[in-house]
Chain A
Amino acid sequence: MEAQQVAGRHLDDHDVLLAARHGSEDAGRRLMRDHGAGMLRTARHVLGRYGGNDAEDAVQEAFIAALTTDALPRADVGAWLRAIAARKALDAARTRQRRSEDQLSDGPAPGPADLEVLAVREALARLSARDRAVLVLVDLEGHSMAEAAEALGTTNVGTRLRAVRARRKLAMLLREGGLS
């Protein structure tokens, strides 16, 4: 596949993904340029930390997984990549929990986050990583319960129950913080 074609956007995202799998660095760079920021934001939401490098590590693992698997996205490549990023961030959150590093500080949050934003982040941080992953995939990304369950390696019913409980808990936390 010609690098110029990839750079020149003659290909759609599916073709770019296949080209990257076949070793085109231009295609890989284009995937990251087009979808990296979204993947990073998804990973940060799931991790519940809006600073630090662990979200970038999750994106790296997601990118490698996307090139290593034989599976193909059914529709939107960006949404598919973000779902993989959510899964990898969830794995990273579990590892972090096992290592008892949950108390690490976030470090300086990038950007001018105001107090309300910080309060919302704090409320989200009080949910479990799995709760956040379900809410990110279903309520933010618009995936179906079945798609979210598949992405997170769990059952449809379990995902549905988790979503209901997580929404209720988040609504309560936001109310308590005067944010609803």
Chain B
Amino acid sequence: MTTRRSVAGEALRRAGRGLHEDPERLVAGVPAWMREAARRRARPADGFPALAAWALPRLAAATAAAVVVAVTVSLWSPSSSSTVSFESLILDDGVADTGDELFDALLGAERNHG
């Protein structure tokens, strides 16, 4: 029984017919290739990729931890309930003090100019 697997293998063998590879051209290149291999082996273990492989997972873990801490602190902060919302500042002229001097001055100037 002819399977697709054997069909593919046979097709590749047929495609290779008529190829008469001469290894001597490759053999002639060997000394230069070996010098290149020696040069690559002597190269310091790929400095940046090695450093990146070491540092990136740690950096990602540190960032995730920082996000968790920041979210926890913001959720549990006692002052979070007393913050003035942006909408109330825009809609409610009665709010006089946001707690931020620069912001208050800006809002005051806006109100004065209509």
Binding site for B on A (CB under 8 A): 20-21, 23, 25, 28-29, 31-33, 36-37, 39-41, 44-45, 50, 56, 59-60, 63-64, 67-68, 109-114, 116-117, 120-121, 123-124, 135-136, 138-140, 163, 166-168, 170-171, 174, 179-180
Contacts and interface: CB of A to CB of B under 8 A. Distances in A.
A117 B7 CA distance: 14
A112 B23 contact: no
B61 interface: no
Contact of B26 (A36, A114, A163): A36
B25 to A, nearest CB: 7
B16 to A, nearest CB: 6
The secondary-structure label for the interface of chain A is: helix
B50 interface: no
Contacts of B40: 64, 68
Contacts of A138: 5
Contacts of A117: 14-15, 17-18
B55 interface: no
B11 A124 contact: yes
Interface in B1-47: 4-9, 11-27, 29-31, 33-34, 36-38, 40-41
